[in-house]
């Protein structure tokens, strides 16, 4: 019963989406530009039927209705209620339905909150957004129906992958999807404004709230995924340049550049073409990420390895959208003839945008190059951290220095003497202190010295900005958080240490003046898994002994074993131990890592998002 109700709700939602498309384009064609009440009803009923469909799917998961193929593949009766609910979007079909729900919610909010704007602009935005919604309706109904009926009805489901049964990962997809879907409204709005020829400061002020909303949720979503991978997958780090991680990072680069571009557009009525191109690129990257994840092309722990035909649908749909957007851009956009003084805030924001585009290009090439190589030459390669580090880290120094300078210059034109002796002296002092600090720490790398000096200099200047009245609070918070994030990442990467060894119960090893003791092993039984819990001790000179209890879990449904790390966190470092069974003779592979300033990476990410929130709510 729930299957039929959910499916027919999608069909009715599709019909109202078609109605909204017709009702939005007809007034534009006949040049009346009148928005009738019918379009409000269509958009509201479209949203209502998607909510009903999502509710029916959730009910099927909660009640363990295994007549639904999606529920059968991703749930079982012994799964806790929280993970039954999160299992709704922990699969391909359910996650697309959640994506559609956010799409229909956003267009409803836009229609309600944009009444003071030009009708033609509103109608065109609705038209483009409904085209995207219509495409997702078709995609779900034709290739990814979450309400496929299964007969005969099995008594038990296959269950959800245990590593996905985690609180951080349960809320990670919805938050990330809000970030992704927000870019679609920015895309639709940019095309509508381009046709309507109102890419100006008023539009920038309006759309910036949607850009910031997407950026905030994307930032938090990336952070939650990073935290989950850190403690659940046992990788022992905050970022591993996994393809799916990269897929979410690329639109974040574009959104960050777009925020600063809209700032110039709002203040100076410049960078109109930059704004349009970035809006199109951000949405294109979000959709490309969807294609790569859904097609099964990427090989990652958190991809949905499904029928490539599904990916083909998204690829064709994305191609049509992007080609249409490019045609609209070339047909309706105008050349900007305003000159920009290259020693001004305007210019430095453009330079920083180019840095962002460079970082984006490196990540994009590193992600898609292995795919093209496999298709063209039938060779499989993996692009790892060294590739990204060698290409990105050298450019961080001028990027950080440009970022510092941009906060000190005025719009239009400024004086080169803004770079004064005081600033040069502070940077020199920080460089000397950094070199000394690295020398006594046996980390004598010249390049690292310059990079950390630049990061400390950015942090100092961001901290100093809090004393100034002419800088917005949101900018102060975001720039301080970003400087702290960069500094924490660098210190974490340079001063991290680890040992990977084999041990038996009762063994101990020495590592960097520390002693790691493998004390005991305990066998326990939980509701839906058995576990092997190790007891380790870390003895450190002059400090308290730390006890660790990592686990090896063997789940009943499905039959999968996982390694659960134990992490001890303080303000200065994380101590991390994870172990796995090598053979039946009681030999275990044990990995210990010390990760300095790890908690500050998470704190900085949260504060960064808070800065974006203040930019939305400020008067």
Q: How far is CA 470 from the centre of its chain?
A: 32
Give tens-digit pLDDT for 283-294: 999 888 777 766
Matching residue, tokens 């956010």: 102
Of 165, 199, 228, the domain-final residue: 165
Q: Residue 417 pLDDT more than 60?
A: no
Highest mean pLDDT among 237-246, 402-411, 433-442, 603-612: 603-612
Q: Report yes or no: 181 and 89 within 8 Å, Cβ to Cβ.
A: no
**Whether 122 and 188 share a structural domain:** no
Cα-Cα-Cα-Cα dihedral sign, residues 195, 197, 200, 206: negative
Tens of pLDDT, residue by residue over 189-239, are 999 999 988 888 889 988 999 999 999 999 999 998 888 888 776 666 778
Q: Which of 393, 419, 445 is the last residue of a domain?
A: 419
Is pTM beyond 0.95? Reply is: no
Number of other CB atoms surrounding residue 389 within 10 Å: 12
Query: Per-residue pLDDT for 394 more than 50?
Result: yes
pLDDT value of position 409: 66
- The helix (run of H) or strand (run of E) holding residue 547 is strand 546-548
One domain, residues 185 and 274:
yes
| pLDDT of the residue at 25 | 92
- Tell me what pLDDT residue 359 has: 93
In a domain, 443, yes or no: no
pLDDT the model gives residue 457: 81
> Residue 616: phi, psi to the nearest 5?
-80, -45
Task: Please check whether residue 464 lies inside any domain of the structure.
Answer: no
504 shares its domain with 404: no
Supply the pLDDT for residue 413: 58
The pair of three-digit structure tokens given for residue 596, joined into one six-digit string: 């300095």
For residue 580, being part of any structural domain is answered with: yes
Could you give the CA distance from residue 409 to residue 397 in angstroms, rounded to a whole number? 19
Query: Is 229 in the same domain as 309?
Result: yes
517: Cα within 13 Å, side-chain hemisphere: 10
Residues 348, 247 share a domain = yes
One domain, residues 281 and 364: yes
What is the band of 509 on the pLDDT scale with cuts at 50, 70, 90? very high
Say yes or no: 333 and 348 in one domain: yes
pLDDT at 75 over 50: yes
Question: Same structural domain for residues 303 and 242?
Answer: yes
Query: Of the residues 144, 165, 186, which one is the last residue of a structural domain?
Result: 165
Say what the pLDDT of residue 561 is: 80
Q: Please indicate, yes or no, whether residues 159 and 179 belong to a single structural domain of this protein.
A: no
Percent of the chain with pLDDT over 90: 32
Structural domain contains residue 438: no
pLDDT digits (tens, 9 = 90+) for 319-350: 899 999 999 998 888 766 566 666 677 788 88
Q: Are 477 and 610 in contact (CB under 8 A)?
A: yes
pLDDT tens by residue, 114-168:
888 889 999 999 999 999 999 999 999 988 889 988 888 888 878 777 777 778 7
For residue 308, pLDDT over 80 is answered with: no
pLDDT of residue 303 exceeding 60:
no
Quick check: is 442 in a domain?
no
- Per-residue confidence band for 312, with pLDDT thresholds at 50, 70 and 90: confident
Query: What pLDDT sits at residue 305?
Result: 45
Q: What whole-number distance in Å separates Cα of residue 177 and Cα of residue 183?
A: 10
For the stretch 164-191, pLDDT in tens is 777 877 888 889 889 998 999 999 999 9
Based on the fold, state whether residues 56 and 202 are members of the same structural domain.
Answer: no
pLDDT tens-digit map of 87-112:
888 888 888 899 999 999 999 999 99
Q: How far apart are CA 173 and CA 150, in angstroms?
A: 27
Residue 321 is assigned to a structural domain of this protein: yes
Within 394-492, strands assigned E span: none
Residue 306 reports pLDDT greater than 60: no
Residue 427, in any domain of the structure:
no
Cα(first)–Cα(last) distance of the chain, in Å?
A: 50
pLDDT-wise least confident of 266-275, 356-365, 478-487, 554-563: 554-563
Q: Which domain holds residue 348?
A: 172-419
Identify which of 125-129, 406-410, 448-452 has the greatest average pLDDT: 125-129
Question: What pLDDT is recorded for position 421?
Answer: 64
* CB environment 233-248: b (16+ within 10 A), e (fewer): bbbbbbbebbbbbbbb
Q: Do both 125 and 216 map to the same domain?
A: no
* 301 — pLDDT class (breaks 50, 70, 90): very low
* 93 and 21, same domain (yes or no): yes
**How many domains are contained in the chain?**
3
For the ranges 165-169, 234-238, 468-472, 533-537, the maximum mean pLDDT occurs at: 533-537
Q: Which residues contact 461 (CB under 8 A, 6 or more apart)?
A: 404, 407, 408, 483
In a domain, 19, yes or no: yes
């Amino acid at each position: 019963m729930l299957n039929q109700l959910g499916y027919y709700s999608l069909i009715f939602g599709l019909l109202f989406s078609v109605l909204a498309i017709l009702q939005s384009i007809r007034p534009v064609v006949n040049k009346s530009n009148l928005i009738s009440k019918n379009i409000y009803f269509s958009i509201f009923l479209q949203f209502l039927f998607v909510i009903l469909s999502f509710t029916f799917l959730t009910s099927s998961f909660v009640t363990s209705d295994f007549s639904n193929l999606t529920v059968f593949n991703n749930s079982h009766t012994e799964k806790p209620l929280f993970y039954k609910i999160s299992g709704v979007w922990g699969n391909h079909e359910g996650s697309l339905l959640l994506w559609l729900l956010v799409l229909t919610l956003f267009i409803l909010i836009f229609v309600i909150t944009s009444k003071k704007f030009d009708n033609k602009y509103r109608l065109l935005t609705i038209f483009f957004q409904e085209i995207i919604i219509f495409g997702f309706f078709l995609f779900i109904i034709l290739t990814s129906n979450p309400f496929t009926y299964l007969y005969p009805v099995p008594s038990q489901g296959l269950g959800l992958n245990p590593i996905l049964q985690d609180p951080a990962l349960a809320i990670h997809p919805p938050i990330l999807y809000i970030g992704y879907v927000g870019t679609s409204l920015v895309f639709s709005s940019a095309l509508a404004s381009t046709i309507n020829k109102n890419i100006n400061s008023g539009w920038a002020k309006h759309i910036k709230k949607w850009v910031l909303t997407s950026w905030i949720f994307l930032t938090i979503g990336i952070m939650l995924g990073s935290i989950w991978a850190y403690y659940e997958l046992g990788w022992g780090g905050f970022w591993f340049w996994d393809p799916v991680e990269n897929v979410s990072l690329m639109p974040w680069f574009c959104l960050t550049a777009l925020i600063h571009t809209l700032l110039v557009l709002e203040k100076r009525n410049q960078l109109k073409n930059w704004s349009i191109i970035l809006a199109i690129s951000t949405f294109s990257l979000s959709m490309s990420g969807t294609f790569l994840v859904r097609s099964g092309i990427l090989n990652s722990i958190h991809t949905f390895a499904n029928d490539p035909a599904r990916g083909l649908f998204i690829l064709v749909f994305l191609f049509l959208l992007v080609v249409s957007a490019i045609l609209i851009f070339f047909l309706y956009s105008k050349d900007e003839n305003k000159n920009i003084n290259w020693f001004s805030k305007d210019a430095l924001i453009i330079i920083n945008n180019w840095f962002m585009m460079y970082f984006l290009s490196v990540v994009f090439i590193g992600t898609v190059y292995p795919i093209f190589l496999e298709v063209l030459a039938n060779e499989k390669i993996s692009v790892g951290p060294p590739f990204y580090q060698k290409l990105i880290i050298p450019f961080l120094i001028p990027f950080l220095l440009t970022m510092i300078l941009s906060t000190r210059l005025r719009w239009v034109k400024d004086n080169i003497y803004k770079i004064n002796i005081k600033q040069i002296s502070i940077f020199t002092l920080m460089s000397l202190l950094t070199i000394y600090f690295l020398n006594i720490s046996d980390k004598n790398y010249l390049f690292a010295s310059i990079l950390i000096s630049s990061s400390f200099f950015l942090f100092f200047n961001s901290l100093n900005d809090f004393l100034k009245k002419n800088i917005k609070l949101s900018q102060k918070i975001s720039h301080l958080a970003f400087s702290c994030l960069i500094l924490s990442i660098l210190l974490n990467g340079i001063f991290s240490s680890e040992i990977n060894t084999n041990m038996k119960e009762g063994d101990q090893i020495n590592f960097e003046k520390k002693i790691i003791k493998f004390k005991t092993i305990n066998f326990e039984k939980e509701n839906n898994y058995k576990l092997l819990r190790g007891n380790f001790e870390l003895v450190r000179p002059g400090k308290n002994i730390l006890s660790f209890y990592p686990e090896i879990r063997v789940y009943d449904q499905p039959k999968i074993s996982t390694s659960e790390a134990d992490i001890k966190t303080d303000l200065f470092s994380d101590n991390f131990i994870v172990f796995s069974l090598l053979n039946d003779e009681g030999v275990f592979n044990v990995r210990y890592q010390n990760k300095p300033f790890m908690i500050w990476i998470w704190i900085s990410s949260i504060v960064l998002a808070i800065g974006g929130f203040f930019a939305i709510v400020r008067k």
